[in-house]
Amino acid sequence: MPGRVPAALRRAGSAVRGRPRLRARLSARRSRLFILLGLLGPGLIAANAGNDAGGIATYSTVGAKYGYDLLWMMVLITVSLAIVQSLAARMGAVTGKGLAELIREGYGIRWSAFATTAVLVANFGICISDFVGIGAALNLAGIPAQLTVPIAAAGIWLIIVRGSYRSAERIFIWLTIPFFAYPIAAILAKPDWAQVGKAIVAPHFHASSAYLLLFVATAGTTITPYMQLYLQSATVERGARVEDIKAEQRQAISGAIFADLIAAFIIIATGATLYTHGIHTVDSAAQAAKALEPFAGQYAEVLFGIGLLGASLLACAILPIATSYVVSESLGFEKGLGQSARQAPVFVGLITLMIAVSTIVAVIPGIPVFDLLIGVQVVNGLLLPINLFFIWRLSRNRELMGEHRNRGLSDVLTAATVLFTSVLSLTLVVVTLTGGS
């Protein structure tokens, strides 16, 4: 009939008209994703950076040695971590300064120099162990560390030094995705979920120095000094202000909860497999991944390896940044991601030095990583109480924080958290130095 458009042409026209709508929907989805990424930020990054190679090895040891018995402790640690992280975010938003800078201004150069030296030593050791973790994760696939570690180091350096803060932050958030491998690995391990639930709500104690040491080491690896140092400085660098306090605290608390859920799933996965089958000793995260295969299948080993790789990459990026923040703030040098070597020579130079030295040491065959981590635990054990004390004192300072100072129930909970974690950290130092006797 005249004027009628053939069906084929009508369908083609509809398809053409539909393309802009499809592109609009895809664009809207991308926008929502980037908004979500922007909401996550430093809290998620800092908390998950604590789940590094050493942390995974510790959680794997907890599961292998005691099954689910220490899961109740993760609830207490999560509360403590959420309180500390939210305070660091609040101070960053209110003062516009990093923790090291506030310590220098409020307590003098001596305390600032002590904290800076301790952070430098401890973070160097942890950074080396995490580069070893990168090599160990990819070695599970048969790729030698001498090849993978330098390539990873070059990529991390480019992201940190050549990119902007926003681009680096988004990449760091994407690096938290591999952590989802651990819940899947836990499900593949087929745990007794009723026993898991019981262990979470019913504390179970063992009268032994080994239990005490592992208890304290778990708290120490979950709440580490560089996490708060990085979080507060990153909150400042992303431009958070007083009106952003609630949003910054929400993402700090949600990051702490997410990171500790991942830690709990690692304990569940190893508890359901290694502990159940009488394998109670784990020397590294990579060894835990290999040990899972006979009981939970090849996929569990692969997932553990993916998680280890993502965790190590994230920590290897955050540790040099956190260290450079502390040194630059303590000494009054220019700092910031996206700054050139000419603009911030100390900040960029220290990042480059840490990555380069850690890479070289990590590819040396037979490097005694375990002994290195023992020494780092002692330094962190000494530093954490000091760090937390300064966070508590500064957060309740009326002149510094004004109406946003820490007070009331929040101040009491913070003081209890500082006391609790300080006792645990100092206990770890004593037990470590006395050989667990």
Number of domains composing the chain = 1
Q: Please indicate, yes or no, if residue 16 is contained in any of the structural domains.
A: no
Strands (E), 142-226: none
The pLDDT score that the predictor gives to residue 18 is: 53
The pLDDT score that the predictor gives to residue 35 is 47
* Residues of the chain with confidence (pLDDT) below 70: 1-40, 285, 294-296, 368-379, 381, 432, 435-437
How distant, in Å, are the alpha carbons of 171, 273, 308 from that of 175?
A: 6, 27, 11
Q: Please give the pLDDT value at position 13.
A: 53
User: 113 in a domain, yes or no?
Assistant: yes
In-domain check, residue 33: no
Q: Specify if 12 maps to a domain.
A: no
Domain range spanning residue 114? 50-397+405-433
CATH number at residue 262: 1.20.1740.10
On whether residue 386 sits in a domain, the answer given is yes
Residue 94's pLDDT is 93
Distances (CA, A) of 81 to 44, 405, 415: 12, 19, 13
Alpha-carbon dihedral angle through residues 91, 97, 99, 105, given to the nearest 10 degrees: -110
Residue 375's pLDDT is 63
Whole-number Å distance between alpha carbons of 371 and 73: 26
Structure tokens at 53: 């190679």
Q: Tell me if 20 is assigned to some domain.
A: no
Residue 421 domain-assigned (yes or no)? yes
CA dist 393 and 406 (Å) reads 9
Q: Domain for residue 264, yes or no?
A: yes
- From residue 420, how far is each of 83, 207, 324, 424, 431 by CA, in Å? 12, 20, 29, 6, 17
Long-range Cβ pairs for the range 400-405 (8 Å, 24+): 400/94, 400/95, 400/102, 400/106, 401/90, 401/91, 401/94, 401/95, 402/94, 404/90, 404/94, 404/242, 404/245
Continuous segment of H or E residues that includes residue 313: helix 298-331
**What pLDDT is stored for residue 117 in this prediction?**
81
